[in-house]
Amino acid sequence: MLTGKAGAVKILGVVLVVALISTSFIGCLGAEKSAIDKINDRKKLIIGTSSGFPPFEMINGTTNNMEGFDIDIAQAVADSLGVSLEVRDLDFSFLIGSVKIGLIDMAVAGMTITSDREKSVSFSNPYFKADQAIIVLNGSTIQTPADLQGKKIAVNLGTTGDIWVTSNLVDTGLVAAADVHRFGFASAAFLELTTHHVDAVVIDKPVADAYVASAGGVAKVVYTIVTNEYYGIAMRQSATDLVSYVNVVLQDLKDSGQYDIIVQKWFP
């Protein structure tokens, strides 16, 4: 019955099934402790972000560390908890997935609060307001979204900029789907522009402004797409204690004036 090659396959099959079933239980074991307790045990707050998104998160040229508006906010939370901060640089589109699985405690990445995303994660209260913007190279004639017809555009994959371009330009037929170049990191999208692979980049306005300022005059922001977005910190839906805690921290920052100081630091 269980002899020979056929027998070996059967045994292997049973072992695999048992392994698969047991791995699905692993998630259940960790459910007892609250998120904040786990962070305290670990003595570390792990956040995920996606670099190349100035001035919210970018890599400092000299120290090679991650820095930015979001990092300072996250640091405030870590300080309040009395733990150290670990920053993981990920592809933007992996952030929510990572939060869901529990690979990171929170995602702080200039992430807009959307109803879609709220199906998967919980957001803190909004901590920043933004719109989208169109960036082009200096010699370009593009002035408005209508001018983008038939052009090539680069976006940061998974961001609201990506979503805006898809629903407003691709789905309406103004721009071909193949002409939208999507990248996991915003820096790649900017590179597309400077290497003349695309005609425009659509990305959050504060980031667009910061990028143009640092780009040495080769690019310009030509249009602000008013979307009234709000950034939030993404956390696991089951981590209700962490969500409340973070909201308290954010409120404290605002009340104490610390928030304004951080804003001044990154948006002089």
By CB under 8 A, name the binding residues for another protein: 92-94, 96-97, 100, 116-117, 120-121, 154, 157-158, 162, 177-178, 181-184, 191-192, 195-197
Beta carbon of residue 232, minimum distance to another protein (angstroms, whole number): 15
- Least distance (Å) from another protein to the CB of residue 254? 29
Measured from the CB of residue 27, what is the shortest distance to another protein in angstroms? 12
- 55 preceded by cis ω (within 30°)? yes
User: In whole angstroms, what separates CA 219 from the centre of its chain?
Assistant: 24
Nearer to another protein, 92 or 127 (CB): 92
Rounded least distance, CB 198 to another protein, Å: 9
- Please say which residue, 147 or 162, places its beta carbon nearer to another protein: 162
Nearer to another protein, 14 or 101 (CB): 101
Cβ proximity to another protein: between 93 and 227 the closer is 93
Instruction: Work out the number of other CB atoms within 10 angstroms of the CB of residue 118.
Output: 13
Least distance from another protein to the Cβ atom of residue 157, Å:
6
Measured from the CB atom, the residue of 115 and 264 that comes closer to another protein is 115
Task: Work out how close the CB of 125 gets to another protein at its nearest, in angstroms, rounded to a whole number.
Answer: 21
Using alpha carbons, list the distances in angstroms from residue 220 to 64, 175, 223.
27, 21, 9
| φ/ψ of residue 78, rounded to 5 | -60, -45
CB-nearer residue toward another protein: 70 or 192? 192
Work out the number of other CB atoms within 10 angstroms of the CB of residue 228.
Answer: 8
Cβ at position 28, least distance to another protein in Å: 15
Comparing CB distances to another protein, the nearer of 35 and 153 is: 153
Identify the residue whose tokens are 């959050």. Answer: 204
